[in-house]
Amino acid sequence: MATAGISAVAPPVSGTEPPAPSPTSGVGEPPPSGTGLAHPSRLRVLARWEIALFATFVAVFVVGRVLSPEFLTSYNFLSMGLSNGELAIMAVPMMLIVVTGEIDLSVSSTLCLASCLLGFLWVHGWPMPAIIVVVLICGAFLGAFNGFLVTRVGLPSIAVTIGTMLLYAGIGEMLLGSNIVSNFPAAYTNLGIYSVPGIGLSYSTVIFFGLALISGVILHFTPFGRSLFAMGANQEAAIFSGIRVKRTKTILYIFSGIVCSGTGILYTFRLSSAEYNNGQGLVLSVVAIVLLGGVSIFGGTGSMVGVVFAVLIYSGLLDALLLTGFPQQASGIVIGGLLLLSVLVPSVPEFRSRLRAGRHRLWGQPPETAIAHNGSVAQPRLTGDSSSKVGQGGQPI
């Protein structure tokens, strides 16, 4: 940590509403008064973002229905939930972590290690309930290790979790090697492929909605949840206003570890196989969903509602493409395009204002911040300019 010495102290932002995914430019405008982050127009932008997601969601489902009569059937909802449930569940802790300005790229590897550990212990004759408990505890430790490195050692979370992504998946590979464990009892594997009785949705879908609801309520309506936005918007300010940033982040990483190892159990039961490459490559999809949901990669903004809609759009779109015979692998074009739009659209107003300001402002940036008297660089005014956010948040972007 030890950030206080260099960055100037910014006003506390706890209690302010999360600003829009992309802040408007400070170029050519007077800096907003007050905290600089709570700007009424940003609230409207945020509201528009959720509405845009909702409209996209409706459009996807209408188009899906038009293109294929099977789209809006209960069977299809079940299969959609089955194929995207794990991604959706992992998006919840990922969202909370991204809101605090960190990231967890080890989620899919935690899933992989949980799956391998499950298979490993099962081969060694452990009873299934005990295995599940051990796997979840193991997940908590994996998350705690991430949290320790990020908060106590003070390492950048993106580098740490790329490292633990390799490490955890590697440990999973060590446990199982090239073996594939698939002789799980049907009572458990049925959990992975059947729907919850009376609801018609997969277990993973129900767990996702439950988790999203609880996390959403905590995130948006409790002091603990609001503190996540505060530390994501301005970590120093959060520390100075008495928020226990390190402890909170560690808790979130542990939560992520537990949830992802639980997801690993579900994943194993769904495929009824534990092998070393389970969950490989899921992590970037999880990140994509969270960002599509309007959560800023710099932290400090976003809403759980947005992420839920992003999950629905993602799975609805993939499924509609699948049903209409679009080559499944090429669906990345659509997902990536959506993700790109989700960051480009909110930055259009800023881009236009810069265009109006003149060409040189498009290329470079005019000097607008004063040099402090002692020759050190003055803290940029809190105009919400994304580049000044970079300096404070310490994000690699």
Closest separation in Å from C-beta 7 to another protein: 9
Bridge partners, residue 377, by sequence: 371
Cβ nearer to another protein, comparing 252 with 297: 297
Closest separation in Å from C-beta 254 to another protein: 18
Cβ nearer to another protein, comparing 57 with 276: 276
Q: Which helix (H) or strand (E) holds 372?
A: none
Closest separation in Å from C-beta 141 to another protein: 15
Angle, vertex CA 22, rays to CA 19 and CA 27, nearest 5: 100
Residue type for position 212: A
Cβ nearer to another protein, comparing 17 with 173: 173
Bridge partners, residue 195, by sequence: 202
Closest separation in Å from C-beta 261 to another protein: 17
Residue type for position 396: P
CB 289 within 8 A of CB 108: no
- Look at the alpha carbons of 139, 140, 143, 145 in this order and tell me if their dihedral is positive or negative: negative
Closest separation in Å from C-beta 339 to another protein: 4
Cα–Cα dist 316/289, whole Å: 13
CB 12 within 8 A of CB 240: yes
Closest CA to 291 of 111, 91, 154, 128: 91
Q: How many helices (H) and strands (E) does the chain have?
A: 16, 0
Cβ burial 70-94 (10 Å sphere, 16+ → b, else e): ebeeeebbbbbbbbbbbbbbbbbbb
Closest CA to 106 of 153, 156, 164: 164
Structure letter (DSSP) for residue 376: S
Cβ nearer to another protein, comparing 213 with 362: 362
Closest separation in Å from C-beta 316 to another protein: 17
Cβ nearer to another protein, comparing 33 with 178: 178
Q: Which phi and psi (to 5°) does residue 377 adopt?
A: -75, 130
Cβ nearer to another protein, comparing 73 with 280: 280
Cβ nearer to another protein, comparing 196 with 343: 343
Closest separation in Å from C-beta 191 to another protein: 28
* DSSP codes, 18-43: PPPSSPPP-TTSPPPSTTSS--HHHH
Cβ nearer to another protein, comparing 137 with 333: 333
Closest separation in Å from C-beta 3 to another protein: 6
